[in-house]
């Protein structure tokens, strides 16, 4: 029973550290926001869409909780930081679209980042984007190797009709990689 108590105590300490600029009574908020961000990432992994209701409900919870526990000015600062970065990401995507006639990333990833910044600040979100880009590239490379090996196997075994249903994928559902990057960013920034 002692190990369960120490596990809860350690978890409580970690959640208090992750409750950036919040009093210790708000230790539950990082866990709730990580739940919303993880749910959105899982849904994105399966459907290719980051669900608006999950993100916007999470934004309402974080803004209201920050406003209640600290003050509304601080809550607005975190929200405005998230909105500012979201606007920059939107502008970058628009420039990319005008240049290459396709999106660089989905707007669901931008909304996901807005919630992450409103909850944990900019630094972990920047780490999340940097790490997620590399993880996404590794994922695309691994997928290409799998397709190449299937094509090679089919060529030598005569199963060419099997390959006609495999379409190359030139995009990745990014929110799961953002979530993995956010966990790493939170560890680097708040859990030394």
Tens-digit pLDDT profile for residues 91-119: 999 999 999 998 888 899 999 999 999 99
Which domain, by its residues, includes 134? 2-190
DSSP 8-state symbol, 165: T
Residues near 127 by Cβ (< 8 Å), separated by ≥ 6?
A: 181, 182, 184, 185, 188, 189
CA distance 173 to 58: 20
Question: Six-digit token pair at 68?
Answer: 């209640």
> pLDDT digits over 74-84, tens only?
999 999 999 99
- Total of domains in the chain: 1
Predicted TM-score (pTM) of this structure: 0.86
Tokens of 167: 């379409």
């Amino acid at each position: 029973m002692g190990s369960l108590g120490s596990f809860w105590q350690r978890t409580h300490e970690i959640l208090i550290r992750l409750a950036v600029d919040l009093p210790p009574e708000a230790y539950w908020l990082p866990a709730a926001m990580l739940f919303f961000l993880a749910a959105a990432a899982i849904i994105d992994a399966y459907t290719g869409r980051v669900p608006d209701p999950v993100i916007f409900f999470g934004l309402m919870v974080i803004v209201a909780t920050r406003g209640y526990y600290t003050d509304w000015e601080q809550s607005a600062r975190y929200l405005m930081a998230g909105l500012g970065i979201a606007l920059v990401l939107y502008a970058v995507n628009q420039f990319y679209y005008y240049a290459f006639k396709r999106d660089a990333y989905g707007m669901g990833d931008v909304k996901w980042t807005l919630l992450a910044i409103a909850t944990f600040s900019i630094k972990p979100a920047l780490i999340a984007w940097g790490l997620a880009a590399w993880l996404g590239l590794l994922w695309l490379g691994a997928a290409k190797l799998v397709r190449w090996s299937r094509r090679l196997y089919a060529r030598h075994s005569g199963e060419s009709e099997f390959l006609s249903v495999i379409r190359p994928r030139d995009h990745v559902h990014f929110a799961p990689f953002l979530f993995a990057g956010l966990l790493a960013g939170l560890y680097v920034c708040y859990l030394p």
